[in-house]
Amino acid sequence: MDFPEKEQDPSQELGYELAKQELFFRKELIERVHWFTRVRWFAAGGAATLALALRLLEPRFPFVPFTIIVLGILIYNLVFLYACRRLDTSEEQRLEPFVPFAHIQISMDLLALYMMIYLTGGIYSPLLMFVIFHIIIAAIFFPPFICYLYSFSSLLATGDLVGLEAAQVLPKQHLLFKGPLSPHSALAQQSLKEILLLFAFFGAAVFITAFLVSTIVRSLWAKGQEILKVSKALDSSNTKLTALYEVVKRMRMCSDLKELLDTATHSAASIMGVKGASIKLLDETRRKLVFSSTYGLSEDYLAKGAIDIDRSPINRRIIEGSWLTIGRIEEKDFFQYLEDIRKEGIASMLCLPLRAEKMIVGVFCVYSNVYYDFNNSDIKFFSIMSDLTAVAIENLRGEINKTWFLQKAAHQLRSPLGSIYSLLKVIRKGYLGAVNGQQQQSLIRCEKRLEKLGVVVDDLLKLGIKRLHRDRATIQAVDATKVMKKVKELWETRASEKRITLEFAIKKPVPKVMADEELLDELFDNLISNAIKYTPPGGTVSVTLAKMGEEAVCFEVCDTGIGIPQEDIPRLFTEFFRAENAKVLSEEGTGLGLAIVKEILDFLGGSISVKSKLGEGTTMTCLLPTV
């Protein structure tokens, strides 16, 4: 997925690609040069072994000069090994020194090889085939032209060797391996024409090898470039999807619409590497688009105010459900404020509708200051981002509306409930006239019902306040052990009143967590309260605080209570939900405690998991992020 880089033109992108390919080639060449140096030790050892064997089998074999050549190979390979180490320890492993270094190695090896070929029979030497081995190495190291140059040089060296021997400039060496199984003894008696034919066959073998190996290497190189492109695309996609995941997490934590929109525009520009981004939402009439959030755009550009959809064909088209991409804005003339767009330095843009289910709520645009034709993969990625943003907007609007309703209803209920409760007390105490025993009991039951209803109203208010004002919480390093100790003092007394064993365990060292102290206190309170409430007398509640890996602290509450049916666990953190066995054990409870716990953990970036077995107990495990 190739998005335009911020403040970068296509030539810079091409330069980056070439640099990456050079890094790939550099690594390959460096590895091969080291490999070539290591292989030479085995080659020299093989040559030494061959020399000892030929000395025993062929008395006329020139053992001393052959051995001197082998020693020369060992000496210059030591020099090559030292040079390799020097190049490895340099601050920057540049490609330039390794190219001539590889040429020097191949040239020295060919020189040593042709000296051995001369000593073992010239063109009749069985060592002549090792020339092809060096041609293969040249094809691996260098472009085809260089490989063919080495092939031609090898053929020329072979021809010179034959010519110098024929002109008796070099004395002829004795042929090795004479016998009925060796063709070389017969070759020695061949005419000049037959020698030339042998030379032609050798030349053909050399050039065919060069051609085949070069073709294969070039093919592998092309595939390597394709792999680099795929790797780059995968890296880019992975980076963008990871960033998008983080954006969605941040948007989920927003309790204010403006904060959510600003998060979306800033992240869109950052992830896609463009100049800026904007979100325009439809007003109540759905005839105008209002700039609700922008990033990277000047105040002058925004000063025009709302955009009339009827006068802006581009926005009308998007609101109708189409996406729109423009690679060169100068070519288009259907903008309401075209001159302002040009002054802003916007060269290309991509706009998509913000679609929540089937309803379009606005337009999401990204702007680039370079000419760029957004392709299908760009559009698909930004479409995902737009859809997730639209869903987050609608979810937050729904939460805000629901929270407003909860608060409004709770406030409206609180005053009359208080009045009714006070009036019932006045009646029950006989201030308005005598009350008999039966009436007294009825009034007491009414008071208890009103008390429970009052608890529900208080929880509703508490939940609403948390949702509307959670952005006011101070996220900082908090010592969870201190919070735990305060909670311990409160709940030990209540547990003993119910004849429940309450055990606290702090497995030190416990690192500080990123949280708000009040929220953490409420989290601990809610979970311990629930465990005590649903554990029968004689049971046990164990509370543990411990380090979990390098990035989390584990807070665990385990009880031997009534347990939770497996089918109810998925709904456990839903507002007002209570399992049937919990209702049977205790009528008290609003079903909001665990919903509050989940919201606190979501806000803090933590998580909660539940394990429970009906009739045996429940374990709640919370993970909180460390500093």
pLDDT digits (tens, 9 = 90+) for 293-313: 888 888 776 666 788 888 888
Distance CA 117, CA 374 (A): 62
- Residues 401, 510, single domain; the answer is no
pLDDT band at 184 (very low <50, low <70, confident <90, very high): very low
Mean pLDDT of 543-559: 92
Number of domains in the chain: 3
pLDDT of residue 16: 42
- Residues 479, 464, single domain; the answer is no
Q: Residue 569 domain-assigned? A: yes
Distance CA 611, CA 566 (A): 9
pLDDT of residue 512: 92
- Residues 45, 186, single domain; the answer is yes
pTM of the full structure: 0.50
| Residues near 622 by beta carbon (within 8 Å), at least 6 away in sequence | 523, 527, 554, 555, 556, 601, 606, 607, 608
pLDDT surpasses 60 at 8: no
Domain boundary among the residues 231, 264, 282 is at 231
pLDDT of residue 513: 92
Give tens-digit pLDDT for 314-326. Answer: 888 888 888 888 8
pLDDT of residue 18: 42
- Residues 404, 495, single domain; the answer is no
Domain boundary among the residues 447, 471, 495 is at 471
- Residues 214, 74, single domain; the answer is yes
Domain boundary among the residues 425, 449, 471 is at 471
Q: Residue 99 domain-assigned? A: yes
- Residues 432, 397, single domain; the answer is yes
Choice among 118-132, 334-348, 572-586 with the minimum mean pLDDT: 334-348
324, 351 Cβ separation under 8 angstroms: yes
Peptide bond into 509 cis (omega under 30): yes
Give tens-digit pLDDT for 144-156. Answer: 898 999 999 999 9
Q: Residue 513 domain-assigned? A: yes
pLDDT of residue 559: 94
- Residues 306, 337, single domain; the answer is yes
pLDDT band at 9 (very low <50, low <70, confident <90, very high): very low
Q: Residue 246 domain-assigned? A: no
- Residues 450, 522, single domain; the answer is no
pLDDT of residue 112: 92
- The domain that holds 300 is classified in CATH as 3.30.450.40
- Residues 497, 507, single domain; the answer is yes
- Residues 372, 519, single domain; the answer is no
Give tens-digit pLDDT for 90-116. Answer: 655 566 777 888 889 889 999 999 999
pLDDT surpasses 80 at 69: yes
Mean pLDDT of 391-403: 76
- Residues 308, 366, single domain; the answer is yes
Q: Residue 297 domain-assigned? A: yes
Q: Which residue has the higher pLDDT, 377 or 511?
A: 511
pLDDT band at 171 (very low <50, low <70, confident <90, very high): confident
Q: Residue 249 domain-assigned? A: no
Q: Residue 238 domain-assigned? A: no
pLDDT of residue 335: 59
110, 154 Cβ separation under 8 angstroms: yes
Domain range enclosing 572: 473-625
Distance CA 175, CA 120 (A): 7
For the chain, the average pLDDT equals: 80
- Residues 395, 274, single domain; the answer is yes
